[in-house]
Structure 1
Amino acid sequence: MKRNLLAIAIPALLIAGTASASIEVWNKDGNKVDFYGRVYALNYLTDRDNQTGEGDKTTARLGMSGQTQISDSLSGYGRWEYEAKTGSYADNETRYAYAGLNFGDFGSFDYGRNDGVLKTLTSYTDVLPEFGGDASNNDIYALTARTKAVATYRNSDFFGLVDGLRFAVQYADNGDNSSTQYLNHHERTGHDSAEAWGSVIDWDVLDTGLSIGAGYAQTGGHKDAKAWSAGVKYDNDNLYLAALYIQGKQKAGWDNASTTRKADDLKTKGFELVAQYGIDFDIGRLTPSVAYIQHKVKNASSLTNDSGLKGNDLAKYVDIGLTYDFNKNLSAIVDYKINLLDKNDIGARRSLYEDGTFTKSQIKATAKDTVALGLIYQF
């Protein structure tokens, strides 16, 4: 019975993520409800006035996760999370909303708004204090970030036979599930929906601290967006090392995503490297980190809206960061993004396309360095 209860609880905890510091508000007769939240006071600083994306980035989140015990080997669970953004780009978003059943050693199944299946791998390197996580972008790589209307089956420990061997399969039936939309936001009208599916497998290798994984995802219809990814991480004591490779391909490209006209294959690829080391003090823990991120598209100069560009990089930077955890509820971060983009790189212009028109000065600004300063309170 204990083994079955663990098999039910562990996947729910993995899915809940930020709920690790949650407040238990109900636990009776096999029913449990937790609430969790976060206030992230954050500001981006640059060495250039009016740079795109600078300024206040403060957010607040509130969420709940629940579990109900049906039998020794069957339980139900659900999660909801909402985020409100402040500043000049104030917006609101339902980040998660799903419910499911867990069958113990036979795995779990849920449906709703949830992470794309390849998030299992992109999360290896999406651990920086603020920046990073460029691979978790549904506009470039299919099913790598949160998306709506996804049905997901997950299995931990391979039906109870192999410790640490996990796999998942996922089907998405609508909407923002993949790179079926443009990167340039102001043209994102008229796109049609596409189904998508994907799978991932990863393994915690014995008790070594080493994990390896690989996955694949693609959309249906004329867009035919595909993504392949592989990752490795080492997490043991205070040391954390991770590497990710991801590759994408879209037949309709970005600029033809709302049409039925075929276009030359649009190919993207990227890799991310991260190293972190935790240092414990009498009060709190300091974690320095360093990372290198690069994503590029093949032959950027041949794309319709990007003719004449000399650089193929979508993102290219070195990241140096510090996180100080006072305790499990309060943390402070500083994250320095050393931008290696050139003004002629495609990545220096794509972030401006939502403005319609832009100046050479604005283009140069997107290739500048950025420092993020933040204070995080969570429960």
Structure 2
Amino acid sequence: MKRNLLAIAIPALLIAGTANASIEVWNKDGNKVDFYGRVYALNYITDRDNQTGEGDKTTARLGMSGQTQVTDSLTGYGRWEYEAKTGKNADNETRYAFAGLNFGDFGSFDYGRNDGVLKTLTSYTDVLPEFGGDASDNNLYALTARTKAVATYRNSDFFGLVNGLRFAVQYADNGDNSSTSHFNEHTLNGHNSAEAWGSVVDWDVLDTGLTVGAGYAQTGGHKDAKSWSAGVKYDNNNLYLAALYIEGKQKYGWDNATTERRADDLKTKGFEFVAQYGIDFEVGRLTPSLAYIQHKVKDASSLTSDAGLKGNDLAKYVDVGLTYDFNKNLQAIIDYKINLLDKDDIGARRALYEDGAFTKSQIKATTKDTVALGLIYQF
């Protein structure tokens, strides 16, 4: 779904997630405004004996994207997107809010709340019906997910010289841009800043359907987090294959760290593999998908005082899913996450740290398989 539909006028990421459907409400004198939205009726089903993570996950989104033609070679653009959740502990979020200028072959520049620069690569495997996207986690890997206060320069087709060769450079200023939320506000030794910068390059190899990419990001100040990533995807003739490798290093701890849980030179790495195939029918399109996801931390036993902790895996599962597109506006999904975490893995406990004390039954619940059932209406 992530296609470069409006590359001439605005960067691809401006319209990511809105390519399938939107409503044009204004198009006059070089000014264009589109509205788009989505209602995602979603429920997670797990072991009924322990319902941690189970239940309603319904969300609703509303967004706007616009552009204005300043000159033949200069276009202004902006995007705003908001999401409301309706399930347990429901909250709201401004997902995107940025504006910028596009200079045609000379690239584009924008500022605001936007995707971290390494999202270009993590999006290769973030295509499952519901689950996946574990690499898009700013607490583990710098500039991999949405971030506030980012300035981004992007260039498509390398100044018009090489078709499909793209690169981007990004700077993030003191935001939730990476690594530990705990240390983001930490005042030890006067360090309470986490500036970040990164770059990424990817290339659609001729007309083969193959895309390869690599990127790097790091923070400054007290956090000193670094991320490296490389990915490859193949999208042609209804077949989609993708693989991602990512590695991270943090000088100090991770999210919700305490004196027991922080660690010097925290190292993480992950592998993600996805295969999908689209089958067209007279009405609609069915897309089965299969994926394997694994992220781990080096020597997890040294990161926490939890007794009996032995496993290094943060996430480990096989995903089997089906997506059925009735048309561009209506979609149904079923996604089965076969959880391979053990109760002694760090990943079975990490999500519970912010609750303070937690029970053995809560830990066991985070290792359960999960089925997601959803119906999506979008415009």
Short-chain TM bin: over 0.9
Q: Is the Cα contact below 8 Å between 2:238 and 2:278 reproduced in 1?
A: yes
Q: Is the Cα contact below 8 Å between 1:129 and 1:322 reproduced in 2?
A: yes
Q: Which residue of 2 aligns with 1:41?
A: 41
2:338 and 2:355 mapped to 1: Cα distance? 24
Partner SS state of residue 87, structure 1: coil
Q: Is the Cα contact below 8 Å between 1:300 and 1:306 reproduced in 2?
A: no
Call closer, same or farther: CA 1:13–1:227 in 2, change over 3 Å: closer
Q: Which residue of 1 aligns with 2:298?
A: 298
Call closer, same or farther: CA 1:353–1:7 in 2, change over 3 Å: closer
The 5-angstrom pairing of residues 58-137 of structure 1 reads 58-137=58-137
1:102 and 1:164 mapped to 2: Cα distance? 17
Q: Is the Cα contact below 8 Å between 1:273 and 1:293 reproduced in 2?
A: yes
Q: Is the Cα contact below 8 Å between 2:311 and 2:346 reproduced in 1?
A: yes
Q: Which residue of 2 aligns with 1:19?
A: 18
1:68 and 1:151 mapped to 2: Cα distance? 20
Q: Is the Cα contact below 8 Å between 2:115 and 2:145 reproduced in 1?
A: yes
Paired letter, 1:103: F
- Per the TM alignment, residue 8 of structure 1 is displaced from its structure 2 partner at its CA by 3.3
1:14 and 1:148 mapped to 2: Cα distance? 15
Q: Which residue of 1 aligns with 2:168?
A: 168
- Per the TM alignment, residue 255 of structure 1 is displaced from its structure 2 partner at its CA by 6.9
Runs (5+) with no aligned partner, structure 1: none
- Per the TM alignment, residue 254 of structure 1 is displaced from its structure 2 partner at its CA by 1.9
- Per the TM alignment, residue 307 of structure 1 is displaced from its structure 2 partner at its CA by 5.6
The 5-angstrom pairing of residues 277-316 of structure 1 reads 277-306=277-306, 308-316=308-316
How big is each residue's C-alpha offset from its partner over 1:321-365, in whole Å with a ceiling of 9 and x where there is no partner? Answer: 000000000000000000000000000011112222211111111
**Pair 1:224 & 2:227 matched:** no
Q: Is the Cα contact below 8 Å between 2:180 and 2:256 reproduced in 1?
A: no
TM-score (norm 2): 0.93
Structural RMSD (CA): 1.9
TM-score (norm 1): 0.93
Partner SS state of residue 362, structure 2: helix
- Per the TM alignment, residue 204 of structure 1 is displaced from its structure 2 partner at its CA by 0.2
Q: Is the Cα contact below 8 Å between 1:194 and 1:221 reproduced in 2?
A: yes
1:304 and 1:51 mapped to 2: Cα distance? 25
Q: Which residue of 1 aligns with 2:198?
A: 198
How big is each residue's C-alpha offset from its partner over 1:28-78, in whole Å with a ceiling of 9 and x where there is no partner? Answer: 000000000000000000013443221000000000000000011001000
How big is each residue's C-alpha offset from its partner over 1:62-109, in whole Å with a ceiling of 9 and x where there is no partner? Answer: 000000000110010000000000111200000000000000000000
Q: Is the Cα contact below 8 Å between 2:124 and 2:244 reproduced in 1?
A: yes
- State the number of aligned residues: 368
1:188 and 1:358 mapped to 2: Cα distance? 25
Q: Which residue of 2 aligns with 1:336?
A: 336
**Pair 1:155 & 2:166 matched:** no
> Which structure shows the bigger proportion of residues in helix conformation?
1
2:84 and 2:184 mapped to 1: Cα distance? 23
